[in-house]
Amino acid sequence: MKNFVFAMMAACSIFGASAQDLHGISLNAPSKQCGTDVMTAFANRQSCRSYADKELSLQQLSDLLWAANGVNRPEKGMRTAPSALNYQDVDIYVCTAKGAYLYDAKANKLVPVTAEDLRKDVAKGQDFAAVAPVSLVLVSDLSKMRGGDTPQNRLTGALDAGIVSQNISIACAGMGLATVPRGTMDKEVLAQKLKLKATQVPFLNHPVGFAK
């Protein structure tokens, strides 16, 4: 029944027909044949600071999140992005006009977090970032690392987030999507509104959409 609800929501639109209540969204299986070859993606990668008012399809969002940090070896639960000591500390929060979700890579689902549009909090004065239909916030959970919140583990979290960020940049370039890696964001407000634990640190974000 739960899967049926997820499927119905996905069939209506990516982010559901009603803005009142936020529902979970089942993502599609990644279409591993889509996009350019990897060298063309590198040739096309660039930062974009002007976005069209156009939504991503469910398939595009599914493909992008899988490329960013999805499960690519299900038998071992391993991910498309490497992480130090396989900590798998980086979570991706997906901020949209309808609300914010946590990407559950293992279940291939978006888990609802808040019905509020947090893209302005992510943009923090860089208005172009709030125009993009999706903002991905990369958060490292230091509690997944041996020793917890230490200066060394904060560095490790930043490195792991940087690798996910580069996956996003190259995937966007290959898929014809536009993005820019950003360190700017209102971290305190986002920590509160995304209900982050004290050990969860937002390091980077990516507005994603179509170049205007």
Name the site residues for ligand FMN (rule: CB under 6 A).
46-47, 49, 126, 180-184
- Please report how close the Cβ of residue 132 comes to ligand FMN at its closest, in angstroms: 12
Output 24 or 181, the one with its CB closest to ligand FMN. 181
Output 22 or 136, the one with its CB closest to ligand FMN. 136
- Please report how close the Cβ of residue 184 comes to ligand FMN at its closest, in angstroms: 3
For tokens 């209900």, what's the residue? 195
Output 23 or 182, the one with its CB closest to ligand FMN. 182
- Please report how close the Cβ of residue 183 comes to ligand FMN at its closest, in angstroms: 4
Residues 6+ apart with CB under 8 A from 90: 69, 81, 83, 138, 139, 140, 141, 157, 160, 161, 164
What count of residues does the chain have? 212
Residues 6+ apart with CB under 8 A from 178: 48, 51, 132, 172, 208, 209, 210, 211
Output 16 or 181, the one with its CB closest to ligand FMN. 181
Output 45 or 193, the one with its CB closest to ligand FMN. 45
Question: Among candidates 180, 175, 166, 176, which has minimal Cα distance to 131?
Answer: 180
- Please report how close the Cβ of residue 211 comes to ligand FMN at its closest, in angstroms: 12
Alpha carbon of 152 to those of 23, 90, 145, 146, 183: distances in Å? Answer: 37, 16, 10, 11, 19
- Please report how close the Cβ of residue 139 comes to ligand FMN at its closest, in angstroms: 15
